[in-house]
Chains A and B, each alone.
Chain A
């Protein structure tokens, strides 16, 4: 019985499709991008190896670095809005939905989730219309409740545009944390809840002391999904504000900055090398964020086995 076990071919065979497809469309382009960021054109327009020169331009040249830090700061704010608004609302909705006394839970669940499956183009366009100072219904609705003075052309004001778009994105994606938390809450066994009730832990304190600790791993996953999604975001800003991410670059995030640089815009010709440099930095930022999560947060989350 100690003979070597036969090589388990079926593992290779079953893994192959996913590995091959993933390598072809994700891994190879990723390394291609990292590689491209180390090259640039010389005076004779030949492609030459320049080492980290492109990165020095990006961080050292005042114009490039100003655009980059502006995009990064905007992106960070975009993420903060999602963490502070989308995820707490998602948890709240999940808690309400899992309440046994709520009627028509299935309807609410579907209605709240539907925007998630809409295209960015539709969401961007619809919200632009809703908020339009000319044809929009937002000014009318505010007028009906006597708050017309609060209306501003939000998407056109430097100080509001980014937050407005972040909230539109929250509206679209709040269904995802809701669903994940909802699933986590449903998986809490009744015995645990009953035991808590026997000990007199009910209502809000039951939520804080029993349910929340049990759904923390899900919240961790949602946070990291939000982080990756936000730092890769592009579509909504592009659809609503165009590639120049107006007003005055107030809504410019890393995705739109990358697009403008890589593909060019109007008279600006595309620069694949600097574009790849920005893409590489984005990759490193996301990698760093995920590593922080995996090594500092994930390992400390206690898992409960039932």
Chain B
């Protein structure tokens, strides 16, 4: 009797739910607050037009606070239905805690290669818990007008790169390179992990490090620090207190000639800079060497396992996995390159330049992201600190590498 009553109540609830299906509102948690208008004006209207009855709200948090805020919200049960996924362990941890739903069954997962999915899978690859959205590519953006004015060719080798920097410095009109160490992460992300893959041969070195066959004190891992130490002389006055927005502004105001970049800067720079821009991949040691680029799987979308609107959320995720979304997203946000297997046409020349490197260089992801940042001390965060120290000249490349290796070996079994 009691159970029948319960069933009746449940049925009526479900029916009532169906009757009010037009009221479903999905909330997206994200750290991309820069993209708020693009989601509100381009992406969400396109989805809502195709799927009447589902409303979507994009609710971003500041990037630096996102992980902490999201964790608290998920623990408290107040997080949104859709969760923007950081790559690797941060999201894996959420999946293991039961906060993210297993999405292996989504039809649109077939649109992604294994490499694209690897950042959001369990270690054995049995479950995928986020739909890959985009990767970002590292390289250098340069002021093409300044290069033309000073008669500098786009450098392809390290020697040419430093010759170009010397020439800009000698001329004195421009700061050779716009980067600061105040916020630390640029030194690691746009410094170490930008130029590093050329030394450790991309995936080969990265996998060897995870397997314990190479150490951070080996030459391929110390050499990028040696190059970073040389950057010091080409940065602006007082770069020690220069923040990330300072560097962006220095470059877009035309006061600096070269900007160590991630491709996510493209849309911002396009609106800010009044001069012509170009981009080049990290220079190789000698002409003709294979080039390696950091093509980092950066952003994906998962589903809150406790979402009350799971069906609507899955509809949205199927759409996010579709080629239609890939085209929309890649063109609305040039610099975030689709991971979809279907090739995407992009209109932006700078974005085309970046993505063109995929054809001639070997792609890899940031060395510290997979597995190696699982313990304490955290290798990624230590790399920020070490890279900033090396650029400021307060720690030698060898000391920094040794410190990182000792830290990693203290908890990571294959490195002991």
Q: Which A residues form the contact surface with B (CB < 8 A)?
A: 63, 128, 131-135, 152-158, 241-244, 246-249, 263-271
Min Cβ gap A84→B in Å is 25
Render B232-264 as a binary contact track against A, CB cut-off 8 A, 1 for contact: 000011111111001000100000000000000
Q: Are A154 and B241 in contact (CB under 8 A)?
A: yes
Q: Are A270 and B71 in contact (CB under 8 A)?
A: yes
Report chain A residues within 8 Å CB of B389: 247-248
Q: Are A133 and B381 in contact (CB under 8 A)?
A: no
Min Cβ gap A235→B in Å is 14
Report chain A residues within 8 Å CB of B72: 263
Q: Are B240 and A157 in contact (CB under 8 A)?
A: yes
Q: How far is the CA of A204 from the CA of B72 in the complex (A)?
A: 57
Report chain A residues within 8 Å CB of B388: 246-248
Instruction: From known contacts A133-B241, A248-B388, infer whether A263 and B381 are also in contact, taking CB-CB under 8 Å.
Output: no
**Could you name 5 residue pairs across A and B whose Cβ atoms are closer than 8 Å?**
A134-B250, A242-B64, A244-B184, A247-B182, A248-B385
Partner of B181 from the list A152, A247, A263, A265 (CB cut-off 8 Å) is A247
Instruction: From known contacts A63-B410, A249-B385, A266-B185, infer whether A134 and B236 are also in contact, taking CB-CB under 8 Å.
Output: yes
Min Cβ gap A71→B in Å is 15
Report chain A residues within 8 Å CB of B240: 153, 155-157, 247
Min Cβ gap A231→B in Å is 22
Interface of A is mostly: loop
Report chain A residues within 8 Å CB of B368: 267
Partner of A263 from the list B68, B180, B241, B407 (CB cut-off 8 Å) is B68
Instruction: From known contacts A131-B241, A153-B238, A247-B240, infer whether A267 and B373 are also in contact, taking CB-CB under 8 Å.
Output: yes
Q: Chain B CB within 10 Å — which of A134, A242, A269 has the most? A: A134
The answer, yes or no, to whether B377 is at the interface (CB within 8 Å) is yes
Report chain B residues within 8 Å CB of A133: 236-239, 241-242
Q: Which B residues form the contact surface with A (CB < 8 A)?
A: 64, 67-68, 71-72, 88-90, 93, 180-185, 236-243, 246, 250, 368-369, 373, 376-378, 380-381, 384-385, 388-389, 392, 394-395, 407, 410
Q: Which residue of B lies closest to A63 (CB)?
A: B377
Report chain B residues within 8 Å CB of A264: 67-68, 71
Q: Are B68 and A153 in contact (CB under 8 A)?
A: no
Report chain B residues within 8 Å CB of A244: 184, 381, 384-385
Report chain A residues within 8 Å CB of B185: 266
Q: How far is the CA of A27 from the CA of B89 in the complex (A)?
A: 35
Q: How far is the CA of A250 from the CA of B388 in the complex (A)?
A: 13
Q: Chain B CB within 10 Å — which of A131, A243, A244, A266 has the most? A: A266
Q: Are B246 and A267 in contact (CB under 8 A)?
A: no
Instruction: From known contacts A247-B392, A267-B90, A269-B90, infer whether A156 and B246 are also in contact, taking CB-CB under 8 Å.
Output: no
Min Cβ gap B189→A in Å is 10
Q: Chain B CB within 10 Å — which of A133, A264, A267 has the most? A: A267
Report chain A residues within 8 Å CB of B183: 242, 246
Report chain B residues within 8 Å CB of A271: 376
Q: How far is the CA of A131 from the CA of B182 in the complex (A)?
A: 13
Q: Which residue of A lies closest to B395 (CB)?
A: A248
Min Cβ gap A265→B in Å is 6
Report chain B residues within 8 Å CB of A246: 181-184, 385, 388
Instruction: From known contacts A155-B182, A156-B241, A242-B64, infer whether A132 and B90 are also in contact, taking CB-CB under 8 Å.
Output: no
Q: Are B241 and A265 in contact (CB under 8 A)?
A: no
Report chain B residues within 8 Å CB of A242: 64, 183-184
Min Cβ gap B124→A in Å is 18
Cβ-closest 5 pairs across A and B: A133-B238, A156-B240, A156-B241, A153-B241, A153-B238
